[in-house]
Structure 1
Amino acid sequence: MATEAEKAGRDPDRRRALLDAADRVIRREGPQASMVSIAAEAGISKPILYRHFGDKSGLYQALADRHIRTVIKQLRPEFAKARADLRGRARATIGTYLDMISGNLNLYRFLFHRAGAEDSRTHSHMAGIVRSLGEELGAVIAADGAVADPVRAQILGHAFVGMVQTTGDWWLEHHEVDRRQVVDGLADVIVAAMTAPPPLSRDRPGGPADV
């Protein structure tokens, strides 16, 4: 028979309330927010908090799911728009991402800097979510017909996601850099990559000779 803690862990309303409590503490205290503070905010002890999610890693992963998937939900409409204005779509998508991470700075740093660094399962979980976004973007690029080769479309999709994520992380530490400069610089790279002619294959006539 399930224990009370196990039953509570399966209660979506209780789970949501605990994640809300964690959000409040992390937004208030930043990436150094303690599990003790989160438990106190929720009105329970730390061991009970962990039991609701299996362990600390389970709590981290639940927070990652909640917030990274929210970011993806916000980005999807932007990069799925018609390709008529490639630069505009790139700028809108990048701008939306930068606004979300800068507007939720403590949560972003908690998930990507603390949770991802101290827990390998959480790091792998978040990497999997980000990788799935790269795959989705690659599929959109291929479906648009912007890049005929589906493999090249996947390469670009993952490259764009990684580039925007790491540049955004850098920008959070350099607020002296104008946001528009970051958006335009990233958009320039994306447009150049999307509109460049495909490279000659080694297997095609006229391609570079094998070394």
Structure 2
Amino acid sequence: MPARQTTAAAARAAVVAAANATKGLEAALRGAADDIPDGKPDGRKQRWQQHKEERRAELVDGTLTAVRALGADIGMDEIASHIGVSKTVLYRYFTDKNDLNTAAMVRFIEVTLLPRLTEALIDDVDEFTMTRAVISIYVQTIADETQIYTFVTSSKFSSPTVLADSEKLIAQVVAFAMNERLSHRGLDTAGFETWAYALVGGVQLATHWWMVERTLSQEQLIDHLTMLVWTSFVGIAEVGGSAAVFNSREHPLPEFGVAPSTTAT
């Protein structure tokens, strides 16, 4: 199968896996209170559950619109007013602001961040171009959605478990694409999940730090992150992905003091 078809097939599978994981995450976060008991399914309850899911999604989309318009410190009264419903309606579908915040995070990842990242991961480009594109899209999306990002990661309302699970969704997509790319080149991919989770976690934490501190430009952040991730890929490729080969080698640092020339001779 041609490389492009292989990558596209892998990406489609990754999209399905990510979508399923997102749905599973949201259900788990709501708890088991809405679960259908064992035995014969209750048709009316199933219909109500579907209606509830659809209504929740509408209210979450409205919340994201309200946050974009009014800022990350928006309260439940302001959210309800901007959507055009009473606060009582919000509390009918969300137990509190934590619940709404969690649903907003999942929705943002599902409909905004993951589709953009996946599109970059399935593009028929070389590995370096793809690496920089994925990092650029992640940073740009977060930078473009400053109010949303602040709202869903607020220390007052966010849950460490939810944040970890949301990061897991992104890492799973990256891991799948990485495994396909490396295995297609004949590398040992035993460590692909470790690599994906470490790299995604590093990029996310660095971007979070940058969103708070802003001590360098967005382009500089992308440059530094690309350098970190790409040199990791190169190091993995040099040993064929094998930890045994890596451990059998010496690991001297290159000579310091003179920066390599950036101009062609």
Alignment TM class, shorter chain as reference: 0.7 to 0.9
TM-score after normalising by structure 1: 0.78
Alignment of 1:73-84 (within 5 A): 73-82=115-124
Alignment of 1:1-211 (within 5 A): 10=52, 12=54, 14-69=55-110, 70-82=112-124, 85-114=126-155, 117-120=156-159, 123-145=160-182, 148-175=187-214, 177-196=216-235, 197-198=238-239, 200-201=243-244, 206=248
- Is the Cα–Cα contact under 8 Å of residues 141 and 147 in structure 1 kept in the other structure? no
- Structure 2 residues without counterparts, runs of 5 or longer: 1-41, 251-265
- Structure 1 residues without counterparts, runs of 5 or longer: none
Counterparts of 1:165 and 1:200, CA distance in 2: 25
Larger radius of gyration: 2
CA-CA distance at 1:154 after TM superposition:
1.0
TM-score after normalising by structure 2: 0.64
Counterparts of 1:97 and 1:147, CA distance in 2: 28
- Is the Cα–Cα contact under 8 Å of residues 8 and 52 in structure 1 kept in the other structure? no
* Structure 1 segments of 4+ aligned residues over 6 angstroms from their partners: none
Counterparts of 2:88 and 2:216, CA distance in 1: 43
Distance 1:189 1:67, change over 3 A: same
Counterparts of 1:97 and 1:131, CA distance in 2: 15
- Name the aligned partner's letter for residue 79 of structure 1: L
Distance 1:41 1:153, change over 3 A: same
Counterparts of 2:243 and 2:84, CA distance in 1: 63
- Name the aligned partner's letter for residue 43 of structure 1: G
- CA shift digits 1:32-59 (9 cap, x unpaired): 1111211222333333312123544432
Task: Provide the aligned length of Structure 1 versus Structure 2.
Answer: 199
- CA shift digits 1:7-43 (9 cap, x unpaired): 896262x444422331232123322111121122233
- CA shift digits 1:76-115 (9 cap, x unpaired): 1212334x5222111111111111111110000110124x
Distance 1:195 1:119, change over 3 A: closer
Distance 1:105 1:147, change over 3 A: farther
Distance 1:38 1:200, change over 3 A: closer
- Identify which range, 146-155 or 87-96, moves more after superposition: 146-155
CA-CA distance at 1:130 after TM superposition:
1.4
Counterparts of 1:136 and 1:193, CA distance in 2: 18
Query: Which structure features the higher share of helix residues?
Result: 1
Distance 1:147 1:98, change over 3 A: farther
